[in-house]
Amino acid sequence: MKKIFMLCCAMALVGCTFQTKHRGYVFPDKLESQVANIKTTTALIENIGAPQVKTVYGDEVWVYFGAEENYRGPLAPTFTDETVLLVWVKGNQVLKTQVLHDADLPDVKLAKGETEIPAAIELNALEELFNNIGRFSPAGLGQ
């Protein structure tokens, strides 16, 4: 009985498949060489797509972000491969491109706890309940 249980556990672990989840852009394999040949924003949009973020101040920079999370089973660690594409744009011209990978990106450590919001009003459960009375119209009145 013990051998059958161990065999079932081993088969369950072997049955775990390799899975990749994409977040953001799915970049082509040779991104650096493909982006180096792009000289206009229309060609950039055709090949890569619209940027996720455009800077507001200073030089106009288009930012593209993509990440792949690789799962290798329930007991194996999750590996994340992040890529950031920065494109400096002036008008319709692409001035400069830079591709950053995991090693180039800084490690961001999240602080424990919550960030306080200046001038925030903190209410307890009863205050929240009574504060919402009369705010919403009854269902079906169309207001």
pLDDT score of 15 more than 60? no
Return the domain boundaries, the chain: 17-105
CA distances to 9, 36, 67, 113, 142 from 96, in Å: 53, 9, 22, 40, 53
Residues 20 and 15: their CA atoms lie apart, in Å, by 16
Taking only the tens place, the pLDDT of each residue in 113-136 is 877 777 777 888 888 878 777 776
The mean pLDDT value of the chain amounts to: 79
Taking only the tens place, the pLDDT of each residue in 66-107 is 888 877 666 666 667 788 888 899 888 888 888 888 888 777
Q: Which pTM does this prediction carry?
A: 0.60
Q: Which residue has the higher pLDDT, 139 or 35?
A: 35
Give the amino acid at 108. Answer: V
Cβ–Cβ < 8 Å for 58, 47: no
Helix (H, G, I), strand (E, B) or coil at 45: helix
